[in-house]
Amino acid sequence: MSSASGPSGATAPRPCSLTVVVPCYNERANVAPMVASLDAALAGIAWEVVFVDDDSPDGTSEAARAIAIADPRVRCIRRVGRRGLSSAVIEGALSSSADYIAVIDGDLQHDETRLPVMLKALQSGAELVIGSRHVAGGDSQGLSSPLREKLSITGIRIAQRLTGAEISDPMSGFFALPRPLFERLASRLTGQGFKIMLDLVLASPLPLKITEIPYRFRPRTAGTSKLDALVLAQFAGLLIDKALHRTVPLRFISFALVGAFGVIINILVLEIARRAGMNFAAAQTLGTVVAMIANFQLNNQLTYRAQRLKGNKVWTGLLLFLLVCSLGAIANIGIARALYAEGGHDILAGAAGAAISVVWNYAVSATLVWRVR
């Protein structure tokens, strides 16, 4: 029997009341300062921190474990073969048994000294407490450029429209909520992209009791931001998903949009090759192959970002993808021909063939090329 948990144990550990979830990717230099800041900010509170690292090459996990060995309040989840801020937060939060969960960036840009105030708000009945840069006393000067600031404001407008909630900083990644609420919403989350807080708000069937707490967004001192064009595209995906009421899988939408883009590439290459004097069959074959390669690249970067193929696997993946899509094209032509022969309208017959080949390409490449579980 462990001495700490016995009935006579004067040293029985206090149940943890707050789990701080810290998503991190290449934040090694920030791990130790983060633990030290939490230790200072959360004095008197039973807390733990979970670093959720996506197998960062810089050794973020090792840095976290080195501290965890001596400090039981520190845990580390190392995810392999996966990427994504939102999904990392979900896994960290679901590993908690505390009363409350807080999510904070691992790069020290969020203000951990606000955590006790956020916890108080939850204890007084708030269902979601958001650290906001845009309420009186808040500040976003840590945004790295005027472009970032513009993007941020545009995103905020769209998100406010969509949620219908009066959230001044809907893009915030600094927030806290009761764990049971998170558990209830977990299965309804898309887990895509950067905007986990927004994902939670959208997942809730009933409006949440929200409190906003101002904070100053600090500039980054170590490491670099991971926000890029693809993250923005994923944000667009989250919005589309919401607009369609989750009837169509997000991955399919992305796959279909990439496919539509491929059609444009195909036509462009065909046109250029024809002008260069190539015969139609050769030009169309070239256009198709270029479009398929471009589609593979885009799907690998965007649709299947979380399962992205790297290194040598890219080549076998590309070959498989070309094979799958070629079969899809054969099915497309066969079905369209058959429908047309049955007296179908030519455009409808063509559209039916194309639709079936997109579904085929999607379903087969998901399992065969990217091996989605």
Contacts with Mn ion, residue ranges (CB under 5 A): 107, 109
Instruction: Using CA atoms of 75, 204, 84, 237 in order, give the dihedral in degrees to the nearest 10.
Output: 180
Q: Which is nearer to ligand GDD, 109 or 192 (CB)?
A: 109
What's the closest the beta carbon of residue 209 comes to ligand GDD, in angstroms?
21
211 interface partner picked from ligand GDD, Mn ion, none, CB below 5 to 8 A per type: none
25 interface partner picked from Mn ion, ligand GDD, none, CB below 5 to 8 A per type: ligand GDD
Q: Which is nearer to ligand GDD, 91 or 325 (CB)?
A: 91
Nearest alpha-carbon partner for 173 in 215, 145, 205: 215
92 interface partner picked from ligand GDD, Mn ion, none, CB below 5 to 8 A per type: none
Q: Which is nearer to Mn ion, 43 or 229 (CB)?
A: 229
Q: Which is nearer to ligand GDD, 84 or 353 (CB)?
A: 84
Residue that the structure tokens 């198709």 belong to: 288
Alpha-carbon distance of 91 to 337, in angstroms, equals 48
Phi, psi of 211, rounded to the nearest 5 degrees? -120, 140
What's the closest the beta carbon of residue 21 comes to Mn ion, in angstroms?
15
Taken as a whole, the chain contains a residue count of: 373
What's the closest the beta carbon of residue 24 comes to ligand GDD, in angstroms?
4
What's the closest the beta carbon of residue 34 comes to ligand GDD, in angstroms?
9
What's the closest the beta carbon of residue 256 comes to ligand GDD, in angstroms?
24
Nearest residue relative to ligand GDD (C-beta): 173
Pairing of strands 175-178, 100-103: antiparallel
Token code pair at residue 106 = 């691992």
Nearest alpha-carbon partner for 31 in 14, 53, 47, 15: 53
Q: Cβ atoms within 10 A of the Cβ of 339, count?
A: 18
Alpha-carbon distance of 130 to 132, in angstroms, equals 6
Alpha-carbon distance of 178 to 285, in angstroms, equals 57
Q: Which is nearer to ligand GDD, 28 or 179 (CB)?
A: 28
Q: Which is nearer to ligand GDD, 53 or 112 (CB)?
A: 53
- Residues interacting with ligand GDD, by CB under 6 A? 23-25, 27, 52-54, 83-85, 88, 105-107, 109, 152, 171-173, 194, 225-227
Phi-psi label, residue 164: left if phi above 0, alpha if psi -120 to 50, beta otherwise:
left
**Residue/partner pairs of 148-152 with CB below 8 Å, 24 or more apart:** 148/227, 151/232
3-state helix, strand, coil in the chain (%, to 5): 55, 10, 35
53 interface partner picked from ligand GDD, Mn ion, none, CB below 5 to 8 A per type: ligand GDD
47 interface partner picked from ligand GDD, Mn ion, none, CB below 5 to 8 A per type: none
What's the closest the beta carbon of residue 111 comes to Mn ion, in angstroms?
13
Q: C-alpha angle 12/16/17, rounded to 5°?
A: 135
Q: Which is nearer to ligand GDD, 202 or 339 (CB)?
A: 202
Q: Which is nearer to ligand GDD, 90 or 273 (CB)?
A: 90
Alpha-carbon distance of 367 to 93, in angstroms, equals 28
171 interface partner picked from Mn ion, ligand GDD, none, CB below 5 to 8 A per type: ligand GDD
What's the closest the beta carbon of residue 301 comes to ligand GDD, in angstroms?
14
24 interface partner picked from ligand GDD, Mn ion, none, CB below 5 to 8 A per type: ligand GDD
What's the closest the beta carbon of residue 224 comes to Mn ion, in angstroms?
9
191 interface partner picked from Mn ion, ligand GDD, none, CB below 5 to 8 A per type: none
Cα four-point dihedral sign 271, 275, 280, 283: negative
